Structure formats: C-alpha cells, structure tokens
A and B are shown apart, each in its own frame.
Chain A
Amino acid sequence: MTNAAEAFREEWGRVLAALIGILGDFELAEEAAQEAFATAAERWPREGVPSNPANWLVTTGRNRAIDTLRRRRTLEAKTRLLEAEAEETTEMDEDRAIPDERLELLFTCCHPALSTEAQVALTLRTLGGLSTGEIARSFLVGEPTMAQRLVRAKAKIKAAGIPFRVPPDHLLPDRLAAVTATIYLIFNEGYGGRGELAAEAIRLGGALAELMPDEPEAQGLLALMLLLEARRAARRSPDGEIVLLADQDRELYDAAAVASGRAALDRALALRGRGPYVVQAAIASLHAEEPRDWEQIAALYAELARLTDSPVVELNQAVAIGEATGPASGLALIERIDGLDSYRYLHSARGELLARLGRTEEARVAFARALELIDDEAEHRLIARKLRDLSP
C-alpha cells in the first residue's frame, strides 16, 4: 500500500463519520467524502498537505455536499441539512477539532434492524474504507450483488429512521454485543486464509477499544483477536498442512501481537470484565504459554459454557478436561453433549480421545464420521493421517 492509500484508509472512517454526523445522510456523505479525497489526491501533492488533513477533508466534503444539494434543490424536509447550510463557512476552518463520530457510525452500521450480511458489508465499507469490489471478493459474491446489498442497507437506515448515535445505557449491552459480534465475524472470515480481513477486524477492534476504554468486552475482543492472530505463522507447516495447537512451534508466534493482546486482556480484567470475549481472550493467552495450564483452561471453558450455553464450548471444555485429567474424563463429557452430531470437530475430538484410550475400532468409526463431514482439503488430509496412524 502506498503512503497516500494508507493515509486514505486511516482518515476515511473518521471523515465519513463526521460527514454523516453533519449531513444526516449516508449516501450523500459517502459521495462527499469521495469527492473530498479525490480533491485531496489532486491538490495535496501540488500545494502540500494541510496542517489538519481530517478537518480539511471534512470541510471540503461538507461544502461539496452543500453544492450538490443546491443543485438538486431537494432540501425541503431535511432540517439537519438546512442547519448545516446555515452555518456554512467557505474558508477552511482547520483548527476546530472535528468530533470523532466513528463510534456512532459503528453502532449505526451494526444496528440489529440490518441483516448480519448488511452489517458486515456496511462496516467494512464505511469504517474500513474497503471498496465495494474488495468486500465482494472477500465474501466471494459478485460486485453487483455487494453493491446492491450496500445500497439497500443505506436506504433502510434512512427510510426506517435508524439513529446515528451511541445507544443510551439501557440499550448499550445488547447493541455493543452486536458490534463486537460483527467485528469478530469479519475476523473469523479472515482467520482461515484471507489475512487482510483479519487485519481489518483488528483495526476496527482497536478503534472500538480506543473509543470505549471502559468497556471490558471491547478490550476483550481486541485481546482475543490479537492473541489468535499471533499464531497465524504457526498454524500451517511450510507445505501448507494444518498444525494443531498442541504441535505448534511457539517460536513462530508473533511476540508483539501476544504482548499487545495480553495488555488489552489486562485492561479488560482491571475493568472486572468477565464476559465471553474476556474469557476467550484469557483462554487464548493461556494457550500461548508452555507448558499449558490445562486445568485453568478447562475452568475458563466451564465459565464460558455457563455464559454462552453453547455445545461447541462444552466440547472445548471436554477436550481441555481430557488434557488436564485424562482422556476417559474428557470422553465421558463429550458423550453427554447434545446437538453436535453433524459437527465435524466433535467426531475428530472423540476419535482422538478414543485412540488415546486404545479403543482403536471406535476411534476409526469416529474419524471416519469426521471425514464425511469435512469440506476443507487440509482438514481432510489431517484426519485421514490420524486414521492411517491408528494401530491396526
């Protein structure tokens, strides 16, 4: 990425958020931001970068939007716009700090009245500054489909009256959960392969943690993503095979990411956070240590299971107990889990524990069932290898 492109990405979300705050209209604000950045690209190399680039971009964008509206003369019912027009200044007011409204923007994009797909696309477009084409490619859909999804989402925000604000306290816990879920979804899309999405999610999580310094779950989410991302280089062997957590070379972990992740986790714990992201981050932090404290990990999974009521979490708890106190107790727990019969990792984990107990025939059946459920080629090779390695 060039410096100009990087500056663009850094400022885009903040400038767009400020313009939406001023203009009260996503579509108009986005056009205005695009024009302001285009003007900057043309002028800055010639005239030099202004002392406060963000203010310059917002002021330029706002003036462009007002010009556009004058041309369109569709001002009537738009009081917010009329107010903006009334206080219009043509000269650059570069010293007045523009308010940072990225948080308002994030909560609007992640409003539960929008579909999850729309939330993700809108967040990447508005705060991430990704182009429609980039988002479309990341989610393996055609560009026209993605463009339509974005247009529809922006139209709904306007027509349905989705507010541009940080929700009041009584709504905040649910809405913050929606924001963290969207960011974590983006991260998970990038976890398997597309690293740029994971990096984008970490950038968004960093902004959220910075804008909500007193929210432990915001810190917890950032910590979790950093600690998981730190393992990226260790998760695959040089020939592209999956390396399981137990076999990963900790030398390959990104030490800086582990340190930043743990710092965010410490902030979350200091805020007395005990929510799902904080607990998951604490587990990820324990996994980065050698030797691992499986009893602690199992205890944290038990806590997470209580918080989330998720059978997948129970499975992880069972695996941790298998490591802490022996395969028989892990297996006993797995046999009690309901509703995961078509979940491949249940069968692979079961196969692993059965193999350790010397129950080879049952292990074979379990691995075979896992293989039926796996799509991913590298995962398929991993389990096929385990199946072959079972003693005859």
Chain B
Amino acid sequence: MKYAMLIHQGDTPTPLRPELWAEVPADEQAQIAADYQAINQTPGVQPGIGLQLPETSTTVRVEDGRTLTTDGPFVETKEALGGFFIYEADDLDAAIELAARVPAARLGGWVEVRPIQEW
C-alpha cells in the first residue's frame, strides 16, 4: 500500500515562522531536523516536500478557455498543508507508526494518512 503522509503544522514552530522558531531551544531544533532526516531515510519513504506558507499561494482556474489567476487562498497557517511525503508500507499500522514519528505530530500539528489511489 502507498500512503500520502500529509503534514499539517498547526501550532508547530517551524523555520518559516521565525518568531516561534526562535523560542525553540537549539538542541530541540537539532532534534527536529534529525527526526525529519530519519524519516526521509526510512525504507519505503520517498523523500518529502515542504511547502512555503499559504500566503504565498496562487490559485488558478480555467473558465471558458480563459485562465483566471487569483491571490491566495488565504488558508490559516494552522489549517494549511505544510508538506508531505509518500510512504510505501505493508499496512495502515505501519503508516500510523511512522506518522507518529513526524515531529509536527507531537509539536501541535498533525499528520493525515491518506491511501494513494492505485490505477
């Protein structure tokens, strides 16, 4: 089974929010980086992608052949998708265990584990 591991930062301090990140002790910052690196190196994991803050987003639609571009959407940082990676695992239990190792999950955010549609 392949799972998309969708990381929502919630209240998690990240380097993208410098005022929060500055309050995290240096050893904890190092631990967070090490934890993400360990996840990326876990067998079955396709290394992940981190997203910039949602206010940098641009929304594109096509209506009657015209491309419509708008600023946003301005999803609250708390609710926005922060990043994701793909994990190929035996079953949901394995995916849940790995999700629990994502630092965001213990620091105020959460991980949505979503099976990938196989064609």
Which positions in B face A, CB cutoff 8 Å?
1, 3, 89-93, 95-96, 113, 115, 118
Report B21 CB to chain A, min CB distance, Å.
Answer: 32
The CA of A161 and the CA of B94, in the complex, are separated in Å by 10
A171's nearest neighbour on chain B, judged by CB, is: B93
Sample of 19 A–B contacts (CB below 8 Å) = A77-B118, A111-B92, A113-B92, A113-B96, A159-B115, A160-B92, A160-B113, A161-B1, A161-B90, A161-B91, A161-B95, A161-B115, A162-B91, A162-B93, A163-B90, A163-B91, A163-B93, A167-B93, A171-B93
A163's nearest neighbour on chain B, judged by CB, is: B91
- Chain B residues lying within 8 Å of A113, measured Cβ to Cβ, are 92, 96
Interface string of A109-129 (1 = CB under 8 A from B): 001010000000000000000
B3's nearest neighbour on chain A, judged by CB, is: A161
- Chain B residues lying within 8 Å of A171, measured Cβ to Cβ, are 93
The 9 A-B pairs of least Cβ separation, nearest first, read A161-B1, A163-B91, A161-B91, A161-B92, A162-B92, A160-B92, A160-B115, A159-B115, A163-B93
Give the residue among B1, B91, B93 with the most A Cβ atoms within 10 A.
B93
The CA of A111 and the CA of B95, in the complex, are separated in Å by 14
- Chain A residues lying within 8 Å of B90, measured Cβ to Cβ, are 161, 163
User: What DSSP secondary structure best describes chain A's contact surface?
Assistant: loop
The CA of A171 and the CA of B95, in the complex, are separated in Å by 13
Give the residue among A111, A161, A167, A171 with the most B Cβ atoms within 10 A.
A161
The CA of A77 and the CA of B2, in the complex, are separated in Å by 14
The CA of A203 and the CA of B92, in the complex, are separated in Å by 29
The CA of A160 and the CA of B92, in the complex, are separated in Å by 6
Report B49 CB to chain A, min CB distance, Å.
Answer: 22
- Chain B residues lying within 8 Å of A160, measured Cβ to Cβ, are 92, 113, 115
Interface string of A158-202 (1 = CB under 8 A from B): 011111000100010000000000000000000000000000000
The CA of A159 and the CA of B2, in the complex, are separated in Å by 11
- Chain B residues lying within 8 Å of A161, measured Cβ to Cβ, are 1, 3, 89-92, 95, 115
Report A203 CB to chain B, min CB distance, Å.
Answer: 27
Interface string of A87-124 (1 = CB under 8 A from B): 00000000000000000000000010100000000000
Report B116 CB to chain A, min CB distance, Å.
Answer: 10
A111's nearest neighbour on chain B, judged by CB, is: B92
The CA of A144 and the CA of B79, in the complex, are separated in Å by 34
The CA of A15 and the CA of B22, in the complex, are separated in Å by 59
- Chain A residues lying within 8 Å of B93, measured Cβ to Cβ, are 162-163, 167, 171
The CA of A166 and the CA of B18, in the complex, are separated in Å by 45
The CA of A111 and the CA of B96, in the complex, are separated in Å by 12
A161's nearest neighbour on chain B, judged by CB, is: B1
Report B60 CB to chain A, min CB distance, Å.
Answer: 30
Report A154 CB to chain B, min CB distance, Å.
Answer: 14
The CA of A44 and the CA of B115, in the complex, are separated in Å by 44
Besides the known contacts A113-B92, A161-B92, A167-B93, 17 further A-B residue pairs in the complex with CB atoms under 8 A apart: A113-B96, A159-B115, A160-B92, A160-B113, A160-B115, A161-B1, A161-B3, A161-B89, A161-B91, A161-B95, A161-B115, A162-B91, A162-B92, A163-B90, A163-B92, A163-B93, A171-B93
| Contacts of A321-362 to chain B: CB distance below 8 A | none
| Contacts of A130-175 to chain B: CB distance below 8 A | 159-163, 167, 171
The CA of A113 and the CA of B112, in the complex, are separated in Å by 11
A157's nearest neighbour on chain B, judged by CB, is: B92
